[in-house]
Every structure is written in structure tokens, then in C-alpha cells.
Amino acid sequence: MSDIYQHFRQDERPFIDQVLEWKQIVQDQYRMKLTDFLDPREQVIVKAVIGDACGLAFFGGYDRAERKRAILYPEYMEPEQDDFELRAFEVQYAEKFVSIDHRSLLGSLMGIGLKRQKYGDLIFSEEAVQLIVSGEIADFVGTQLTKAGKAPVKLEKIELSALHIPASDVEIREDTVSSLRLDAVCALMSRQSRQKAQALVKNGLVKVNWKAVEDPSYQVAEGDMLSIRGFGRCSLTKVDGKTKKDKWKVTFERQK
């Protein structure tokens, strides 16, 4: 058991325990186990912990979804799209008079009393504002969400096929970094000095997986989503070992 924990952060142990419980359910009860929505880092952890112990599939409503539900299943089963129990809504509001942004919509969703894990991606496109939720709470969300910020809203159920997914505009970079410390990775991603990146971290302007981290020595890992104030969001999609010069080989994606 300790061999599993040593590959992850101390604060990730409760989630690892949960994944181990999911695996045990599948192995003992010979049935599928559907999870809540997982962020990219959690998806990496699930893949690592499950390994080949059972089948594993992810889906978040569309191909490039960031947040996805997972299904763990016995190898002789094969999950279908409906098994992920996803529902989608389009947000109706007086767009000529008010605007809605990601922060106000998410804040209002959290304000109706459900945890973030019940919600998938919030999609903002030129055509519409849409969201994906867990099927078991869809009716509740549909009736309870009446505002996004100060804007009155109404939710209209739509099919997943009706989602308006913006064209991908992502910069993919492969590079090397001397350390996986947060300040070093932030310096690489934001193309500035490590000293300036360290100041951003210490001033609470950097989030890792949506939580502010003020420790420059915090160790970043594959799957982490970094939000750097003034520089946008970057996802560390791959950590691919070290070079002969003892630098880490990394790949990350940045929304333009």
C-alpha cells in the first residue's frame, strides 16, 4: 500500500484511498462503478492506481472535455456513452443587456448547494453558454439555478450533440525545466524569470488545480492545471523523465 502512496503528494492520499475503494467494488461485486467528474490531475491518479486491475474509461460529454466522469468496470463488460449519465443545459438569459462569465456561472452553481464534482465543463462559445452536469442532479439544477451572478437565467435541456464546442486554440510546448518546483514551472510557462515567478506564487497569484498555492517549492506533477494571474491557464500534460543534463522533460498546453 505504501508503494502506491510514495508516488503521490501527501494531500492526495484521501483521493487515492477512494480510488482503491472503487477498484475493490468492481472486483468484489463484478459491476461498473461510475465516479463524479474528475479534473485532469485526478484522471492521472485514477489511471496510475487502477493500472490493469480492471477496465477504465473516461467521458466528459465531448472529445476535448477537461472534466470527465470515469467508469471502472470488469474486463468482460464494455461501457456505453449513456452509462456515464451526463446531461447538458443551455443557459437562457437577456444577452443584449447582461453578460455572464465563467466565474459568475460557477459561483451560482456552487451556491445551490452541490459540490464541484457534480459539474463538468462550462462551455462559452459565440453561439451559447452551456454546461454539463451529472444526470442524477440535472433536474435539481434545472429548477434551482435562476441566476448567474446578478443576471436572471433559465436552463434549457439539450442533447450532448447540441453542444457548441469552440475551436481548439491551444499552444503545445515541449521543453525542459531544472526542477518540478512550482516557481520553476511557472517561470517556464510564463516565460519570465524564476524570481518573478516566485513573487507571483508568494503573493497568492498562482493556483494549482483551482487552489491557491503560496509555497514556491511545491512539487508540480503530471496532470496539474496551473492558473497564473496575468498569464492564463496552463496544463502540465506530460512529465517524461530526465535528460542527460538532469533536467525534466515536460509537455504543457496553454490556452491562447
92 and 143, same domain (yes or no): yes
The CATH number for 24's domain is 3.30.1370.160
**How many CB atoms sit inside 10 A of residue 115's CB?**
10
Share of the chain above pLDDT 70, in %: 98
**How far, in Å, CA of 60 to CA of 133, rounded?**
9
Taking 80 as the threshold, does the pLDDT of residue 120 lie above it? yes
Task: Record the cell numbers describing residue 80, joined without a space.
Answer: 456505453
My answer on whether 144 and 174 are in the same domain is no
Name residue 203's beta-bridge partners.
none
| Residues 122 and 154 occupy one common structural domain | yes
**pLDDT reported for residue 256:** 65
Predicted local distance difference test score (pLDDT) of residue 226: 93
Residue 186 sits in the same domain as residue 135: no
Q: What cell numbers appear for 90 in the block?
A: 443551455
- Of 198, 177, 179, the C-alpha closest to 188 is 177
Residues 184 and 143 in one domain: no
Place of cell 487552489: 211
Look up the pTM and report it. 0.85
**Segment 205-237, tens digit of pLDDT:** 999 988 899 999 999 999 899 999 888 888 899
Backbone region of residue 234 per phi and psi (left: phi > 0; alpha: psi in -120 to 50; beta: other values): beta
Quick one: pLDDT at residue 32? 96
Structural domain range at position 47: 2-84
Q: Are residue 146 and residue 205 in the same domain, yes or no?
A: no
Q: What is the pLDDT at residue 166?
A: 84
Q: Give helix 194-202 / helix 182-190 axis angle, nearest 10°.
A: 120
Question: Is residue 255 pLDDT above 90, yes or no?
Answer: no
Examine the domain organization and report whether 46 and 75 are in the same domain. Answer: yes
For residue 2, the model assigns a pLDDT of 53
Mean pLDDT of the chain: 93
CATH code for the domain in which residue 152 is found? 3.30.70.330
- The average pLDDT across 156-177 equals 90
The DSSP bridge partners found for residue 186 are none
> Position 60: which residue type?
G
Which of 137, 162, 187 is the last residue in one of the domains? 162
The tens digit of pLDDT for each residue in 21-58 reads 999 999 999 999 999 999 999 999 999 999 999 999 99
Q: Kindly state the average pLDDT of the residues 2-28.
A: 91
* Assigned C-alpha cell, 157: 435541456
**Predicted pLDDT of residue 54:** 96
Q: In terms of DSSP H, where are the helices of the chain? A: 2-5, 13-29, 40-50, 102-111, 138-144, 182-190, 194-202
Residue 184's pLDDT is: 95
Residues 115 and 79 in one domain: no
Residue bearing cell 477512494 = 18
Domain boundary among 111, 142, 162: 162
* Three cell numbers, residue 158: 439539450
Q: Residue 147 phi/psi, 5° resolution?
A: -145, 150
Same domain, 141 and 217: no
Q: What is the mean pLDDT of residues 111-115?
A: 95
* Residues 249 and 174 placed together within one structural domain of the fold: yes
Of 128-137, 152-161, 236-245, give the lowest mean pLDDT range.
236-245
- What CATH code is carried by the domain that includes residue 205? 3.10.290.10
**Count of domains for the chain:** 3
Q: Say if CB 24 and CB 58 are below 8 A apart.
A: no
CA distance 134 to 146: 18
Question: Do residues 64 and 7 share a domain?
Answer: yes
Examine the fold and report which residue of 142, 162, 182 is the final residue of a domain before the chain moves on: 162
- 188 with 225, same domain? yes
pLDDT score at 136: 97
Is residue 181 very low, low, confident or very high in pLDDT (cuts 50, 70, 90)? very high
